[in-house]
Amino acid sequence: MSFFGNISPQWIEAQYLLWRDDPEALGAEWRAFFDGFELGGGELSGGKCLDPELALKQSAVHSLIFRYRDIGHLLACTDPLSPCKIDHPLLSLAAFCLEPADLERTFYVEKSMSNPSPDIPADPPSVTTERHAATLREIVEVMRETYCRSIGVEFMFIQEPAERQWLIDRMEPLRNRPEFSTDEKLNILGELREAALFEGFLNRKFMGQTRFSLEGGEVLVPQLDDLVIQSARLGVTDLILGMPHRGRLNVLANVFRRPLENIFAEFKDNIEMGVVGEGDVKYHRGFSVDRELQDGSRIHLTMSVNPSHLEAIDPVLEGKCRARQDRFGDGATKKVLPVLIHGDAAFAGQGVVAETFNLSQLSGYRTGGTLHIVLNNQIGFTTLAVDARSSRYATDAAKIVMAPVFHVHGEDPEAVIHATRLALEYRQTFGRDVVVEIICYRRRGHNEGDEPLFTQPLMYERIKERPSVHEIYAALLGEQGVSEIDLGEPGGGFQKQLDEALTREATAVDRGFSGEWKNFRREYSSTSPETGVGRPTLTALADTLAKTPSGFSPHPRIAAFLNRRREAVAKGEGIDWGTAETLAFASLLSEGTTIRLSGQDVRRGTFSQRHSVLYDIANEKNFVPLAAVAANGAEFHAFDSMLSENAVLGFEFGYSMESPNALVIWEAQYGDFANGGQVVIDEFITSSETKWERANGLTMLLPHGLEGQGPDHSSARPERFLQLCAENNVQVTYPSTPAQYFHLLRRQVKQPFREPLIVLTPKSMLRHPLCVSSLEEFTSGRFREILPGSGNPETIRTVLFCSGKIYIELLERMLGDGREDIDLVRIEQFYPMRKDLLGEALRRYGTGVHFAWVQEEPANMGGWSFIRHYLSELLGEEPRYVGRKEAASPAVGFPRTHREKQEEIINEAFNL
């Protein structure tokens, strides 16, 4: 269909008038049309018109240029396995009412297109307006060369004119193909050969062992190597890379220059090289190095650890980078560069990719733009694109943030390097995400034991016939006149290095607990440190926290709330949960500990219990009282997050990896929503230390408790966490008093080691009159993992073990009924279980006492399955179970049924 289709001239005229008043009122393509029309000197509606026919043609040419920029990628030749497309109906002359005869006519064009200067302007963006004349043939040629050769670019969805123009200015003058020097070309060739040699060598020496060969995508190596050099040139000091299995070992060898003997040792199953914990496969481990470049500059390269769960690393890496940027201070977004490499199937399929893009511009989570590389080998295990995605491109998720995307032919290394340089420069200039997709193939099966001919026989016949990319490139350089001698032979020095490394012993291994972590102990210690804070300090902090700046008008109920907190501390009693938390935060901040709190609605708190950020009712300006007590460089940050658990929890884990000195907290709006972050819990929080020697002190606050709110909003699923407990990998707690919570938060920072902390937190108990503490409980002592009974052992006939919320309900009944024959023993920390303290708590009682475990959760949930064997062991018999029967769902949907059952549990507990 032509550009004008069957649109009426009257309608076009009306659009023209609209455009004259306000060009932005029209869509981009019509704007281009009228821009062109004006360039041609035309004017609709009877005004002066130099040549109406030429003006219309000029408009059409302008529209054609616009469309090439917009969808020229549809004609780009980027797929090594498919013939190149030659035409597209939307890009034909006829689509713009232009004719072949017009090819020789002269039209106006903007400067960037007509000026093939090889120098990429380094200056900040400027909108180009200068005009030049060119024939339509020349114009089409420039457009085709720029947008329809080895690089297809999607960028016209960017809504910032300056950003688009910036890209145009850097692509059109060079036709997206800068001239590389012979030295550069030979260097690229050498790297392609080394990448191929490395795979061939491993294939021969460690036949059949899984390595996830890069073959077919070897261009990744010269691409990354150049990225490292260009990054250092543009001021990057730390390049942090997250990448999956494919080609990871090759990148470690050829880009990170990890000693080859260390890589081989892992193939030889050399357990001397093994990590301290259970370890992980060789293509998941982390590595970092200071690489010295040829010009003498240095850049720190980090290959982040990576679990098998594809894309799970994305938000973790972003959090890690953000933490490092925060630590480096102002301007650090340009110094710390996140780079994420993805497979095509995973990038298109995994939802966390979209979540991570959504984080990319949020103030609490942005990292100044991520450079994404999609290694599109056109297959995911055995699944082809047609079954793997509904989008045209594997990269389409990137469009949600309008990230420019370069689709590049994987057998054109110069194009890949050029696009990556452009992408890097774009990221450094605009602080936004950008994507380079390499379209290549996978020469072998998914892994080294796989036969792709079973499922893709024709595709793999075609792949078999394709020469390797280094062969294609060497032939091209030969055609360009590079001499045989200069081209050399594949192998050369690298083959020798490989052979020699195979005979060498492995050298020092990359271990955890270095850098920021070097002062932390590896070993868990069961004793809680002293965490009390003196009374004068606490009252002074409470006073400061109740103050707002002069002229600031909080909501009256918030003013009263602040006052109540201050009074409770001044009186020294009735201190509730929210106040305890604020006191913990304030005391840590005043001692120099930075706190980062993130999650949905955390500033106010799901239950309106926190109010860490106050808002002026007159102008919505905000004020953060906790910032006023921070000292010694500490900062308090509370970020209301986007509505995601997976990416945000992953981000905070990554942040915490990099910030052992800070208290990093993720709070779920309701505990059960942590389900959405289960991958992060399994793959990172509970297992990162044993797999990769990467400890972590992330704290998770999970509101928990059955309160008649239905199957969701009731349970943080403690049973799941408890099932994951082993080797002191995590601390799972359910504190029952505000003071215990205060000590627990402080303990998390004061311990000389770091382990993730899971805290089941209250909802209705936030305001329960019995769920309060006195100031004395804050001024000395420590977090107590077990709280023994306080009744007179002589009179006690029944001991009820319990944890968290049910304790308050049992206490209420006990006090109400004046029962002196019952004692309550609280498990405040399930894991690591303090068997010694539990045993001590039991030794108080004589014979003839009944023991029961009471919980409100169904029998297959809560703490029962976990605690029963500890109690049985200590008691010599299994205690009685009081609680709901097994259930498929954590809580009932009907409030009345909930109340009845809850009462039944309490009744049963008091009538054993």
Ligand X SMILES: Cc1ncc(C[n+]2csc(CCOP(=O)(O)OP(=O)(O)O)c2C)c(N)n1
Contacting positions for ligand X (CB under 6 A): 246, 308-310, 343-346, 350, 375, 377, 379-381, 442, 446
User: Strand pairing of 822-827 and 786-787?
Assistant: antiparallel
Q: How far is the CB of 298 from ligand X (least distance, A)?
A: 31
Instruction: Output 378 or 686, the one with its CB closest to ligand X.
Output: 378
Q: How far is the CB of 687 from ligand X (least distance, A)?
A: 15
Instruction: Output 344 or 658, the one with its CB closest to ligand X.
Output: 344
Q: Which residue is nearest to ligand X (CB)?
A: 343
Q: How far is the CB of 214 from ligand X (least distance, A)?
A: 9
Instruction: Output 335 or 446, the one with its CB closest to ligand X.
Output: 446
Instruction: Output 309 or 901, the one with its CB closest to ligand X.
Output: 309
CB 248 within 8 A of CB 212: yes
Instruction: Output 661 or 678, the one with its CB closest to ligand X.
Output: 678
Q: How far is the CB of 645 from ligand X (least distance, A)?
A: 16
DSSP 179: P
Count CB-CB contacts under 10 A for residue 547: 13
Reduce the DSSP state of residue 300 to 3 states and report it.
Answer: strand
Find the helix or strand (DSSP H, E) in which 349 lies: helix 344-349
- CA triplet 429, 642, 600: central angle to 5 degrees? 140
Q: How far is the CB of 422 from ligand X (least distance, A)?
A: 24
User: Strand pairing of 731-733 and 757-761?
Assistant: parallel
C-alpha span between 681 and 402 (Å, rounded): 31
- Cis check for the bond before 338: say yes or no (omega within 30 of 0): no
C-alpha span between 1 and 39 (Å, rounded): 25
CB 394 within 8 A of CB 344: yes
C-alpha span between 722 and 865 (Å, rounded): 9
Instruction: Output 378 or 699, the one with its CB closest to ligand X.
Output: 378
C-alpha span between 460 and 533 (Å, rounded): 69
Instruction: Output 308 or 526, the one with its CB closest to ligand X.
Output: 308
Q: How far is the CB of 340 from ligand X (least distance, A)?
A: 12
Q: How far is the CB of 307 from ligand X (least distance, A)?
A: 8
C-alpha span between 99 and 57 (Å, rounded): 10
C-alpha span between 178 and 186 (Å, rounded): 16
DSSP 515: G
Instruction: Output 193 or 446, the one with its CB closest to ligand X.
Output: 446
Q: How far is the CB of 218 from ligand X (least distance, A)?
A: 13
CB 169 within 8 A of CB 184: no
At a CB cut-off of 8 Å and minimum separation 6, what does 789 contact? 796, 799, 823, 824, 825, 841, 844
Instruction: Output 343 or 705, the one with its CB closest to ligand X.
Output: 343
Q: How far is the CB of 310 from ligand X (least distance, A)?
A: 4
Instruction: Output 79 or 344, the one with its CB closest to ligand X.
Output: 344
Find the helix or strand (DSSP H, E) in which 560 lies: helix 556-571
Instruction: Output 376 or 659, the one with its CB closest to ligand X.
Output: 376
User: Strand pairing of 822-827 and 699-703?
Assistant: unpaired
Q: How far is the CB of 217 from ligand X (least distance, A)?
A: 8
Give the up-direction half-sphere exposure of residue 683: CA atoms within 13 A in the CB hemisphere.
21
- CA triplet 407, 356, 335: central angle to 5 degrees? 80
Q: How far is the CB of 115 from ligand X (least distance, A)?
A: 40
At a CB cut-off of 8 Å and minimum separation 6, what does 595 contact? 585, 588, 589, 626, 634, 635, 636, 637, 662, 663, 664, 665
Instruction: Output 454 or 894, the one with its CB closest to ligand X.
Output: 454
Instruction: Output 248 or 826, the one with its CB closest to ligand X.
Output: 248
Q: How far is the CB of 447 from ligand X (least distance, A)?
A: 8
Residue 324 structure tokens = 């490092």
Q: How far is the CB of 287 from ligand X (least distance, A)?
A: 20
Q: How far is the CB of 769 from ligand X (least distance, A)?
A: 47
Distances (CA, A) of 317 to 242, 275, 323: 6, 22, 10
Instruction: Output 247 or 862, the one with its CB closest to ligand X.
Output: 247
Instruction: Output 182 or 308, the one with its CB closest to ligand X.
Output: 308
Instruction: Output 653 or 801, the one with its CB closest to ligand X.
Output: 653
Instruction: Output 81 or 90, the one with its CB closest to ligand X.
Output: 81
Q: How far is the CB of 246 from ligand X (least distance, A)?
A: 4
Reduce the DSSP state of residue 640 to 3 states and report it.
Answer: strand
C-alpha span between 409 and 80 (Å, rounded): 7
CB 270 within 8 A of CB 504: no
Q: How far is the CB of 349 from ligand X (least distance, A)?
A: 8
Long-range CB contacts (within 8 A, 24+) of 53-59: 56/97, 57/98, 57/102, 57/105, 57/107, 58/107, 58/108, 59/33, 59/34
**Concatenated DSSP letters of 715-740:** ---HHHHHHT--TT--EEE---SHHH
C-alpha span between 865 and 78 (Å, rounded): 57
- CA triplet 896, 897, 898: central angle to 5 degrees? 90
Q: How far is the CB of 446 from ligand X (least distance, A)?
A: 6
Reduce the DSSP state of residue 406 to 3 states and report it.
Answer: strand
